[in-house]
Chains A and B, each alone.
Chain A
Amino acid sequence: MASYFLRRFLYSILTIFLIATVTFFMMHSIPGGPFTRERPVPDEIMRVLNEKYNLDAPLYEQYYDYMKGLITFDFGPSFSKIGTSVNDLISSGFPRTAKVGALACLLIVAVGIPIGIISALKQNRPIDYTVMFMATLGVTIPSFVLATIIIFFFAGKLGWIPSFGLETWRSYLGPVLALSGYSLSFVARLTRSSMLEVLRQDYVRTARANGLKELSVIGKHAVKNAIIPVITYMGPTVAAIMTGSFVIERIFAIPGIGRYFVESVSNRDYTTIMAITVLYASFYVIMVLLVDVAYALVDPRIRFEKETH
């Protein structure tokens, strides 16, 4: 099993490396430089700028410098926010984004899985219909719509939560809820259908036939099998949370890296775009790796297969 994890780890490193490379060349293939504006910049200034940001060096040299910077976590200066480095932006923005994202993930797991289980156990009862109705609604409403609805009602009409920033605990409610809405609903639906499937399995009947208490039949024998597909989904969920943060941070005016990313996209701030892309992608790759590890830990059959082939 150790060799399986080692191989997965090496693939992850390779993936991150490829992502960084592809991103670099994508950004550098954009016609015109980052300083191409609608009004032409005087040649002299252009030359100074290009020199300052090392843009006149040959591409392979820039690539080498960039990769060297990545390994030492130095993403270089920001092109649009003169005087700040991308590292500054990330170190100020990332903790906020991470906090909201982590709370959203927590909410998804801690609420989505239990209500999916309850819904499955009470199949075709009113509580099941209610949960499924809400969950179906949840997967049809994009996060930006949910966020604006929350702002409109809870911040605007009712005034329960602030409509921007992250100063008090209340101010987390809106962004976390908006960010987790879709995935929470999805996880609830997934858990329910997976649970219903598992409850029909022979081994659940065996557990009952062996006289195990209902709590053990459900809590031990059914749940562990039922959450296997949910674990698989949690990797992509992290991606949904991260990309969700692009709009959520914009709507709730949270100065996190999601908002910086959107700003840098409209300002053509290439170093920031590259840095955040690589950061997000690496984060995602690591999450997928962790999910794979968790998967192998929960399901012995996977461990067995991967080892043998």
Chain B
Amino acid sequence: MSTLLEVKNLKTSFFTHLGEIQAVRGASFTLNQGEVLGIVGESGSGKSVTALSVMGLIEEPGKIKEGEILFEGQDLTRYSNSQMSELRGNEISMIFQDPMTSLNPVYTIQNQMVEVLRRHQKIGKAEARKRAIEMLRLVGIPEPEKRIKNYPHEFSGGMRQRVMIANALSCGPKLLIADEPTTALDVTIQAQILDLMNELKERINAAIILITHDLGVIAEVCDHIVVMYGGSIMETGTEKDIFYNPQHPYTNGLHKSIPKMTTEQKSRLIPIRGTPPDLLHPPAGCPFSARCPHTMAVCLEDAPPTYGISDTQTSACWLMDEKAPKVDNYVSGGKGIE
């Protein structure tokens, strides 16, 4: 499989009147064609900013300070806004968290979909409409010929997210970025949308970046997972690596804070204590050091390098250093994060 997207040492900051907020502090990952990459992290971890950086949608006062975003070998950070807009919705598409507000309320679905299709492809109105209807049918909108004439407020939340997906996929993008696509939806609808994405993954042959704060969502769809915290990447690996052999204390903490079917009734969920670091004044060392159960002196002073665990897994934690003391297996035992 060939590489579709390669992000190298991406640093994105927002220059507010309070000072520089370092939202992304050196993120690197790769994505192969047709693959699904999950980016997981809590709010403020920099996952959405990473996605918006790829889209070239970082707005004032934000700026990509450093790094490269190679899409099919081309560095997108060097693209002008008009070059990027040729790409957006065409080669790279994005859908957002809240389908209730992501469609323009004053235009019909047809109007909005036809506009995107005609922006990127040399086709007439009738042809664009036909394709839009096909896309709506593909994402499971019943009676698409009729529904396409409706306004967004005439759809339910789940249906709107389907419309968003149809719109994003209408030009056959090579990459789809889904930023918390299910967070704003009811649980049953969430499952439907995830099923839809799983199904589409097979049919459309696009690579997908799925951004979420919910490990459960990631497990169902992703080939590869990136765990972000405090603007940095903590751990990367395959679904198996992350779920069955997590190496980073933060990933471990995430696991412990999720209820599981297998959890004994009386055992408690263990939350990660404390709050995420202030990205206005990020800590000198590891961003997780203040909340980590295994903080060492070095963690407070220097940011950890990225250690390769296996061909597929990496972890940015000083515990991986050969000089570091060994600690227990994280998932099943240990003292947890307190």
Contact = CB atoms under 8 A, between A and B. Distances in A.
Interface residues of B, number: 32
B134 interface: no
A203 B97 CA distance: 11
B89 A209 contact: yes
Interface stretch (A15-23, A31-39, A107-115, A297-305): A297-305
Interface string A203-245: 1011111111110100011001100100000000000000000
Contact of B96 (A206, A211, A228, A299): A206
B57 A211 contact: no
Given A205-B96, A304-B154, A210 B106 contact: no
Given A203-B101, A205-B96, A210-B93, A304 B85 contact: no
Contacts of A44: none
B25 interface: no
A228 B106 CA distance: 10
B115 A212 contact: yes
Interface in B65-109: 81-82, 84-90, 93-94, 96, 98, 101-107
Interface string B128-153: 00000000000000000000000101
Nearest to A221: B104
B104 A207 contact: yes
A213 B98 CA distance: 23
A232 to B, nearest CB: 15
Given A202-B96, A304-B154, A208 B106 contact: no
A241 to B, nearest CB: 27
B98 A300 contact: no
A205 B94 CA distance: 10
Interface residues on A, range: 20 to 34
A184 B103 CA distance: 31
B331 interface: no
Nearest to B150: A300
Contacts of A228: 106
B119 interface: yes
Contacts of B93: 209-210
Contacts of A225: 104-106
Contact of B85 (A203, A211, A300): A211
Contacts of B55: 209
A122 to B, nearest CB: 11
B153 A203 contact: no
A201 B98 CA distance: 11
A206 B170 CA distance: 14
A207 B112 CA distance: 9
Interface in B186-213: none
Contacts of A213: 82, 85, 119
A298 B105 CA distance: 10
A211 B105 contact: no
B95 to A, nearest CB: 8
A203 B88 contact: no
19 contacts: A203-B101, A203-B102, A205-B102, A206-B164, A208-B57, A209-B57, A210-B116, A211-B84, A211-B88, A211-B89, A211-B116, A211-B119, A212-B116, A213-B82, A214-B85, A228-B106, A300-B153, A301-B151, A304-B151
Interface of A: 201-203, 205-214, 216, 220-221, 224-225, 228, 298-301, 304
